[in-house]
Chains A and B, each alone.
Chain A
Amino acid sequence: MELFTNQILAGIATGAIYACMALAVVMIYQAIDHLNFAQGEMAMFSTFISWQLMQWGIPYWGAFVLTLALSFAGGIAIERLLFKPLAKAPILTNVAGFIALFAIINSVAGLIWDFTIKQYPTPFGSHPFLGSQLISTHQAGMIGVTVVLLILLYFFFQFTRMGLAMRAAASLPESARLVGINTSWMIALGWGMAAAIGSIAGMMIAPVVFLEPNMMGGVLIYGFAAAVLGGLTSPLGAVIGGFLVGIFENLAGTYIPGAGNELKLPIALALIIVVLVVKPAGLFGRPIVKRV
């Protein structure tokens, strides 16, 4: 029994990482109706920038806020420069663009900061949380930050005009334009926000996994999986999805005999496919009605 609770707790701890990333994924999906494969690399790059700022002497929270601002601006810049010209191109071409962006960011980060791992500080300390040896104060802090982000996003999308405008622009661009929404800038804004959220995710994740250019590769897959599981239109779903993926993966690894440990990821992904087959819009997503 103790092992079971331990694995659940450990799953929640890892799940916090996925939940963080999943929020950024949902954010970009809300803006462009598609998944951005370069999301993880952008988050990694932002984290490196914050690390560099700290190396230059700026204290943690200063670097944090500065990185947020820089990431927001960077996200908008990337969208305006690289993806606005592709707005009329087919979606698959855009996906190719995401992949190209991934390659560029990863390569440049490797050149500037090389591939040895770097320690990344946490503002929450690394002691056992409430005496539990399984969740450290940092991981508890990470969960806290994720929840705060979630609440902020919920308010943004449900109760602000900007949030509403963004949702409208993403799902019904024609009609949105008719009511005067500048859909083009909504997309740019979405990119900026997704980049900013991604940077927070990166800065929360780096203390656990260590900072290096390839750190987000694995996380992104899980982030996607979590977002899809929870429903790509629902930030709450993304967060819950993240925790569920973390927990389920751990339990699969612990309790499925034999190959369970070697097949943790495939099993987690298979689960998500099963859920999607039953509930195509994810656990908390809004069912999508298609018209001919």
Chain B
Amino acid sequence: MLSRQQLRIAAFSTAVIAFAATSGSVLAQKKYDTGATDTEIKIGNIMPYSGPASAYGVIGKTEEAYFKKINAEGGINGRKINFISYDDGYSPPKAVEQARKLVESDEVLLVFNPLGTPSNSAIQKYMNAKKVPQLFVATGATKWNDPKDFPWTMGWQPSYQSEARIYAKYLLKEKPDGKIAVMYQNDDFGKDYLKGLKDGLGAKASMVVAEESYETTEPTIDNHIVKLKATGADVFLNITTPKFAAQAIKKIAEIEWKPLHIVSNVSASVGSVIKPAGFENAQGILSAAYAKDGADSQWDNDPGMKKFYAFLEKYYPEANKLDGSVVYGYGVAQTMVKVLEMCGDNLTRENVMKQAASLKDFVPDTMLPGVKINTSATDFAPIEQLQMMRFKGEKWDLFGDIISGELSN
């Protein structure tokens, strides 16, 4: 047994050692890259505020409002966020110009949530060459999860292919001899989905009896629906953006076709798609989700959504909370703030990527219960889980388990 004297010495020594060890990090140097200082963190962003995809511009506005809220509450580790967002009109050359402006002229620390696969494809090489984080890109294309070749680029939402695979799994189980008709938008979004579906069906890819593509310049896709009904298919996969999804739902009801109707998550918003298309036309439609729907009254008392609604009321009152894009903007902005918090005083670009790749079971306020964000040095896909849901009455009924759409690369 140690004597009292020896105990005291031991305790004292331990304390000194402990102090010495921790003071090392307390007195650690603050590390900054361009765009971060003691008082400010500059975040760049590129959104289509004009042009064909201007409906998504509201995501940028939501993020701006969110960062305003964070600043009003003291900022991140005492630093205010300076959010600089530019319009690229959904044009890749313009996106390149804006990215260069942000990095070289505005000298931001990172570019956050740039939107659109073409725009992100255009700037990916540049961002990686300049070693500036291209973080939480606003597109579900599968190619953003590639830390080996593009260590500075990371996605956020579940990839289109993984969502399609989830539907494929479901169909193989519930309707193994179904005949699938697919209508898809003729761009990266539609084609990525289609690939995921076919890969997911694997040997049974022959279940797909018809594929119809459409262009966003078409005023209405009604005639495609007519054509697909004529193929005799009994499963319909609706890979469209909101306007066309609503048109499809309405037309299918009008021509009295009753397939098993699956709509992509992109167009599952009650407020922006289902309500205009008509609740009575949407009964029984399936989809999958990773976030809560602002128009769905089942979340009215959910603590996370309550925070979201309070935020909207105070900082962005004119927002249309029925718009899925607003919920999206909030969730991804919250993730960004978490990553910056985790960086502490080490605000180098390298550390930002490191922290972004170290998210463990992070749950933004707007995620469905059970969906968690996880990343690692080899896993640059933050959200990979979805839950399937069926439309009943005036809302989506979630069913089944949270499924992981992980792609085994």
Contacts and interface: CB of A to CB of B under 8 A. Distances in A.
Contacts of A205: 219
Q: Is the interface of A mostly helix, strand, loop or mixed?
A: helix
Interface size class of A (residues with CB under 8 A): 35 or more
A115 B55 contact: yes
Contacts of B216: 218
A80 B164 CA distance: 54
B283 interface: no
A259 to B, nearest CB: 10
Interface in A104-155: 107, 110, 114-119, 126, 128, 133-134, 136
A214 B52 contact: yes
Contacts of B133: none
Q: Which of A210, A213, A253, A262 has the most CB of B within 10 A?
A: A210
A219 interface: yes
A115 B242 CA distance: 11
A10 interface: yes
A262 B186 contact: yes
Contacts of B203: none
Contact of A133 (B50, B55, B254): B254
B404 interface: no
A14 B254 contact: no
B242 A116 contact: yes
Contact of A116 (B55, B223, B277): B55
A3 B228 CA distance: 11
A128 B254 CA distance: 7
Contacts of A134: 226, 255
Nearest to A116: B272
A188 B55 CA distance: 34
B88 interface: no
A10 B276 contact: no
A253 B247 contact: no
Interface in B90-134: none
Nearest to A223: B219
A264 B223 CA distance: 12
Nearest to A103: B50
Q: Which of B212, B255, B275, B277 has the most CB of A within 10 A?
A: B255
A262 B277 CA distance: 26
A208 interface: yes
Contact of A107 (B50, B222, B243, B255): B50
Contact of B223 (A7, A119, A212, A217): A7
Given A222-B219, A253-B223, A261 B256 contact: no
A128 B256 contact: yes
Contact of B320 (A10, A116, A214): A116
Nearest to B256: A133
Interface in B235-282: 242-243, 246-247, 250, 254-256, 271-273, 275-278
A212 B222 contact: no
B137 interface: no
B220 A209 contact: yes
A124 B89 CA distance: 37
B226 A119 contact: no
A210 B246 contact: yes
A7 B55 CA distance: 32
Nearest to B275: A119
Name the 3 nearest CB pairs between A and B, nearest first: A115-B55, A133-B255, A119-B276
17 contacts: A7-B223, A10-B226, A13-B222, A107-B50, A114-B320, A117-B243, A117-B272, A117-B276, A118-B276, A119-B277, A133-B255, A208-B220, A209-B243, A213-B54, A215-B219, A222-B219, A265-B218
Given A110-B54, A117-B272, A208-B220, 18 more contacts: A7-B226, A14-B222, A14-B223, A115-B54, A115-B55, A115-B58, A116-B322, A117-B242, A117-B246, A117-B273, A119-B277, A126-B250, A133-B256, A214-B54, A215-B219, A218-B217, A218-B218, A261-B213
